[in-house]
Structures are given as structure tokens and as C-alpha cells.
Amino acid sequence: MTAIMQTRGLCKTYGEGALAVHALRDVDLAIDTGEFVAVMGPSGSGKTTLMNILGCLDRPSTGSYALLGREVASLSRDELAEVRNGTLGFVFQNYSLLARTSALDNVQLPLLYAGVGTRERRARATEALEQVGLADRLSHHPGELSGGQQQRVAIARAIVNRPRVILADEPTGNLDSRTSVEILSLFQELGEAGITIVYVTHEPDIAAYASRVLEVRDGRIETDHQQEPARAHVPPALEASA
Amino acid sequence: MSLWQTLLVAVSALTRTKTRSFLTVLGVIIGVGAVIAMVSIGEGAKARVSATFESMGVNTLSVRSGAHRHGGVRGGAGSEASLTWDDLTAIQNEIGVATGVAPEVGTGAQVMSESANWQTQITGSTAEWFKVRNWHATVGEEFTHTDVTTNQKVALLGKTVVTNLFGAGVDPVGETIRINRIPFRVVGVLESKGATPWGSDNDDRVVVPVTTFNQKIAGGLRKYLNGTILVTTPNRDATRKAKEQVEQLLRRRHKLRPGQNDDFHVRDPTEFAEAQEDSAQTITSLLAGVAMVSLLVGGIGIMNIMLVSVTERTREIGLRMAVGAKQRNVLWQFLIEAVVLSIAGGILGIAGGIGAAKYMASKFGFPLLIRVDVVILAVAVSAAVGIGFGLYPARKASRLDPIQALRYE
């Protein structure tokens, strides 16, 4: 398999001189297409910085980062925006949905910036919401949805523009354990469909669903091991009540 | 992302906070409304001034005897009798641009009906006077040329005189009134002209044939015309030309040498009307200026709220950037929000301004004059206000760092 994401000598330094903070030190990482990667580590370890760079939200201080074989470390702000729009999908801990805006409109957001026409936008957003099991919640506002449902809207938003990679920063951080399993189950489905998934968590039982676990400490990848992923089984009764 | 999509996004963002959006644009609404209402009221006032002068005959010259010179002391206009009845005939015959010439002589007199009496102004003139003054009978008839040549004792009454001698709304035609105890038959009532620009009552007058006036009221025809010769012309240019011609004619007739002062006075009301209109124009500009300042204040209000909005929606901006919004998408979103706000304010302001102008016009009896150029200007200014004051917050939003913005609490 070819690496979909490849970093070499990745460094990120905030501040200068004696006050410099080294968030990432010399990270070499290759993630292959279809991998399901959990990133673990204590706060301040640099995992969020790593995710930001992998997610093309930030640029490394030194080193290279190739996404789909394309060097992105030197791209301009707007070029990075295009990469985020077309290649990546984001899921955040706090869902980050637009308030007082329907689920359908929230999911359409990436397509709006991709320049997709109104009718196709609606069709694809509806399809994405059906995929996450929210076909009956299209016109609901985030305030009218449970936490798990909101996160599923966010996942629908992440997949609507058919990304190659989904980056999730503590996607289950605000959810109870049952709902967390549902979300992970959804991720596993997407992974089986060929989407590469990288997610941050600090809970070992959430990391257990990944096929590969990275542990980040002091800006370095300390351990990197493959594992047999646990299957996220959602009891049918719970799924119905979610 | 098309401009239309951006517009839809902006409108949906604004309608999510309806009350705030409305309060934000209130400044612009008031500003635009004030500009339109003020200019409209100013124009109405100007039109009324013009109409007042039109009613007196703005294209009418008045020729009077000049100031007399007694040693070094000079009297006022008309204090020396120099204008003769022959001058009148000469003006009637020789001023080509004039469309009407009429003498106007007058005196105060006690007028009596059978039941009342009233001190009023008696005006003596010819049948042409009605045309020259643009002042016609609303009831009954005007006296005719024949009435003048045959010294008929007929009179037309102003409305005020009718009210005081016969009672309001009474038709006095056919009644007899006595002016200085001489009976006159009332043949008509003059249309009401209201107050003169200097405050006296136009309608407090009785008009009689000049021949009758001279014979019965002034006590016999003399050489000098102790009053005014009115010369009316079709337009303002002709008025100026007529003024020169009358001056030349009278200097020649009065045998004045070059360098000698005129012994008569030709007054061109155009100059006076223009001065009055100028002052109305000044007030209009002043009011519009004040209103423009309030529009500016409204713009600052929009900028203020847009800045608050950018700060409040930092996370939204971060999210939009994360899912692929480019800097210009964010810039346009906020800029268009500001422009939509200010144009909406402009449109509501136009409606409010026209409403206010209508109300004021009906209340003060002005004609309702909405200047289309001012309406267009107000919309243009409010759009400019939106762009001008929206640009800074929009730039600020577009330059946010997506990571910082996403993390903003």
C-alpha cells in the first residue's frame, strides 16, 4: 500500500529563542490508505498540533508533509483551504455545528465552498445524512438533536464531499460510552468503505477500535503499534433509542 | 461559491438575529429617512415660495416713480411723482416683449354694504390687470375694457372684504357697496391669494376700473400716475429684457442726460424670488447635511455590530475555514452582510422618509416633492456606508487563523 499521508522530519515550534516551545520534534509518520489510526497522548503532548498539520489547518515549521503524494507544507492559505475542502473531512469534539441552522444546511456547508449547485448539494447532503442514520432529522436544528445525533450530523458533514481522510479530534469526548460506540461503529463502516481515519482520544477503550495506535509524548511519536481492532457492536435496541 | 450563494448565507445569518439586525439598521433607516424627508420638505418649502411669487406674477415688472431730490435729501421710491399717464401709454405701445401692461393705483378707503363697513384697499386698474396679475374672478365676472372706457361704477371684491361686508361664503354679486359713499355694483369676487410674502392680506382689496377710480375716488385725473405700472412678460429672460427697454424708454421720455439718476424705479421681482429660493435652498442643504451626518452615525453602528458579530462568530468562521472556506469567501460573507443590512436600512428609510414627507406636506400644506436623485443618492450612500464600514470587520474575519478561531471560546 502507498502512504496517503507521509511526514518527514516534521517540527513545529511556537515562539522564539529561550521561550520557544517545541510542539513537534522530528516526526516521521506514514499512514496508508484505509488505515484506522488512533492518536493517544496526554494533553500538551503535541497530538493536537500533529492533527492540525495533518488536517492542513496549520503548517509545519520545518520538515515535509505529503498528502496523496503532494507536498502541502508550502501551500498558501487558500490552497490549504481547497485541500481541506476536497480531500479531508473534520469531526470535532464539540460537533461545531452552526446553531439555528438545519442539519441539512449544516451538512451542505463544505459543498457550498466546493461550488456544487443547489440541487446536487441537497441531494448529496440528504444522502450523507441517510448514511449516518439521520434521514428523519433533515430539518432539525442542532439544539433539537441529542449529542450523538449532533456528532452524526458532523460526520455527515465530514463525508459529504467524499474525502479521502477523516480527521477527528476527540470525537467521543462529549459523549457517553454507548453513544461513543455508535460513533466508532460509524467510523468503522466508513473505514471499510475505504476512507482513511485518524482520530485523537485519550481513552484506551476507544483507541481499541483502531487498527493502529500512535502514542505521542513531548512532541515525538513514542509508540506505534498495529492491533486487531475491536468490533464496535451496537445492540439493536440501543441504536433505535439513540 | 457564487455571489448569490454568499448573499443567501448572509441573509440567513441576518434573519437568525432579527431583532439585532433591525436595531443595527435603525441608524441607517433614520439617516436615509431624514435625508429624504428633509430634502422633500425643503423642496416643498421652495416650491411654495416660488408659487407665492408666481401668484404675484413673478415675470411682472413694477414701474414706479422714483425718489425725489430736495437739496441733498432724497425721498424713497415713489416720493416724487414722475411717472405720467402718457408714460403708461408709451409703455403699452412700445415695449414689444411685454405680454400685458396695466396701471395699478390705489388708496385706502372705507367701504360699506347695507349692514357693515370695512376699511380696505381700493385698487384701480384696467381690464388687462386680471391677466397681468394672473388674478381672476371666481364668482361673477371681471370688468371689461368697455367698463373702463365708460367709467362704470363696478367693483370686484377680495374674499376678506366679502366676509367682512356680507359674511363668509355669501355671494355678493349684484349687491351695491359704497366706497367713500359712492355706490358701486359688485360684479365679481376675486380668487383668494392668501398672504403676501411680507404678511399683508392679498384678499383685503376692492378692484375698480382705473377711470372710475381717478374720477370718483382720487378726485379727478392728474398728469402723474401716482401708483405702479405693471409690465408682464412670458418668462424671466423676457423680464430682464423688458426692464432694460422700459428704463431706456422712460429715460428718453423724461429727458434724462447720461449720468443723471433715474427718476423712476423698475423693480424686477425675479431677483427677489431668486433670493428667497436661494435661502430655501440653503436651508434644504443644511437639513440634508445634518441628515447625512446621522447616516454616517448609522454606518458606524453597522460597523460596531459587525465587529461584535465577527467576534461572536469566531468559531463559526473557524469551522467554515476548516471545511474549505477561502479568505475571500469569509470576507465576502461579512461584507455582504453589512451591505445587505445597510441597503435594507436604505429601503426602509426611503419608505419612512417618503411617509414622513407626505405627513409633513399635508400638515404644512406643501406640495409633496420627492426628488428621485436624492432617493438614488440615499441608496447609494447607504450601500457605500455598508461597504465602507463593513470592510474592516470583514477583513478582520477573513484574516483569522482557523486553528485559533476553532478553539475560540
- Cβ of residue A98 closer than 8 Å to a chain B Cβ: yes
Question: Tell me, what's the pLDDT at B67?
Answer: 59
Q: Is the pLDDT of residue B368 over 70?
A: yes
Of the candidates A84, A86, A98, the beta carbon closest to that of B316 is on A98
> Distance from A80 to chain B by nearest Cα, in Å?
8
> Distance from B318 to chain A by nearest Cα, in Å?
9
Which has the closest alpha carbon to B376: B46, B36, B38?
B36
Work out the average pLDDT over A125-137. 94
Residue B322: partners with Cβ closer than 8 Å, 6 or more residues away: A55, A57, A84, A90, A96, B402, B406
Q: Which residues of A touch B315 (CB under 8 A)?
A: 96
Q: Which residues of B touch A168 (CB under 8 A)?
A: none
Work out the average pLDDT over A128-147. 94
A113 with B402: Cβ contact below 8 A: no
> Distance from B342 to chain A by nearest Cα, in Å?
23
Of the candidates B16, B324, B328, the beta carbon closest to that of A84 is on B324
Q: Which residues of A touch B324 (CB under 8 A)?
A: 81-82, 84-86, 110, 113-114, 161
How far apart are the C-alpha atoms of A151 and A181, rounded to whole Å?
12
Mutate to test the interface with B, among A85, A106, A113 (most CBs of B within 10 A): A113
Higher pLDDT, B278 or B316: B316
Q: Which residues of A touch B325 (CB under 8 A)?
A: 81, 113
SS3 sequence of chain A: CCEEEEEEEEEEEECCHHHCEEEEEEEEEEEECCCEEEEECCCCCCHHHHHHHHCCCCCCCEEEEEECCEECCCCCHHHHHHHHHHCEEEECCCCCCCCCCCHHHHHHHHHHHHCCCHHHHHHHHHHHHHHCCCHHHCCCCHHHCCHHHHHHHHHHHHHCCCCCEEEEECCCCCCCHHHHHHHHHHHHHHHHCCCEEEEECCCHHHHCCCCEEEEEECCEEEEEEECCCCCCCCCHHHHHHC
Which has the closest alpha carbon to B230: B142, B156, B129?
B129
In the three-class reduction of DSSP (H, G, I as helix; E, B as strand; rest coil), residue B182 is classed as: strand
- Cβ of residue B18 closer than 8 Å to a chain A Cβ: no
Q: Is the pLDDT of residue A163 over 90?
A: yes
Among A22-31, A100-109, A188-197, B131-140, the minimum mean pLDDT is found in: B131-140
ipTM rounded to 2 decimals = 0.91
The model's confidence at residue B259, banded by pLDDT at 50, 70 and 90, is confident
What pTM value is reported for the model?
A: 0.70
Q: Which residues of A touch B318 (CB under 8 A)?
A: 96
Q: Which amino acid is at A185?
A: S
How far apart are the C-alpha atoms of B180 and B226, rounded to whole Å?
19
Strand order of the sheet with strand A220-226? A88-91, A165-169, A196-200, A36-40, A212-217, A220-226
- Cβ of residue B16 closer than 8 Å to a chain A Cβ: yes
Higher pLDDT, A15 or A65: A65
B216 in Cβ contact with B153 (< 8 Å): yes
> Distance from B388 to chain A by nearest Cα, in Å?
25
Of the candidates A55, A92, A115, the beta carbon closest to that of B1 is on A115
B113 in Cβ contact with B174 (< 8 Å): no
- Find cell 465577527 and name the residue: B310
> Distance from B393 to chain A by nearest Cα, in Å?
19
Beta partners for residue A196, in sequence order: A165
Grid cell of A241 as nine digits: 433509542
Work out the average pLDDT over B183-191. 93
A114 with B324: Cβ contact below 8 A: yes
> Distance from A49 to chain B by nearest Cα, in Å?
10
Work out the average pLDDT over B221-244. 85
A77 with B327: Cβ contact below 8 A: yes
For residue B80, give the DSSP letter: S
How far apart are the C-alpha atoms of A33 and A197, rounded to whole Å?
9
- Cβ of residue A43 closer than 8 Å to a chain B Cβ: no
How far apart are the C-alpha atoms of B191 and B139, rounded to whole Å?
8
Question: Tell me, what's the pLDDT at A15?
Answer: 85
The model's confidence at residue B379, banded by pLDDT at 50, 70 and 90, is confident
Q: Is the pLDDT of residue A241 over 50?
A: no
CA distances from B208 to A25, A45, B107, B129, B175 (A): 113, 110, 12, 10, 15
At residue B101, what are phi and psi to the nearest 5 degrees?
-135, 130
B27 in Cβ contact with B297 (< 8 Å): yes
- How much is the mean pLDDT over chain A? 90
Beta partners for residue B382, in sequence order: none
Our measurement of the distance from residue B148's CA atom to the centroid of its chain's CA atoms, rounded to an integer in Å, reads 36
Of the candidates B16, B316, B326, the beta carbon closest to that of A81 is on B326
How far apart are the C-alpha atoms of A48 and A26, rounded to whole Å?
16
According to DSSP, the β-strands at A21-32 and B205-209 are: unpaired
- Cβ of residue A58 closer than 8 Å to a chain B Cβ: yes
Q: Is the pLDDT of residue B321 over 90?
A: yes
| Helix ranges restricted to H, B57-192 | 85-94, 129-132, 145-149, 159-166
Q: Is the pLDDT of residue A237 over 70?
A: no
- Cβ of residue B321 closer than 8 Å to a chain A Cβ: yes
Q: In this predicted model, what pLDDT tens digit does every residue of A53-64 receive, in sequence order? A: 999 998 899 999
According to DSSP, the β-strands at B73-74 and B60-65 are: unpaired
- Cβ of residue A14 closer than 8 Å to a chain B Cβ: no
Establish how many alpha carbons lie within 13 A of residue A139's alpha carbon, considering only the half-sphere containing its beta carbon: 0
B325 with A55: Cβ contact below 8 A: no
Q: In this predicted model, what pLDDT tens digit does every residue of B93-112 receive, in sequence order? A: 988 888 889 999 989 999 99
> Distance from B356 to chain A by nearest Cα, in Å?
37
Q: Is the pLDDT of residue B126 over 90?
A: yes
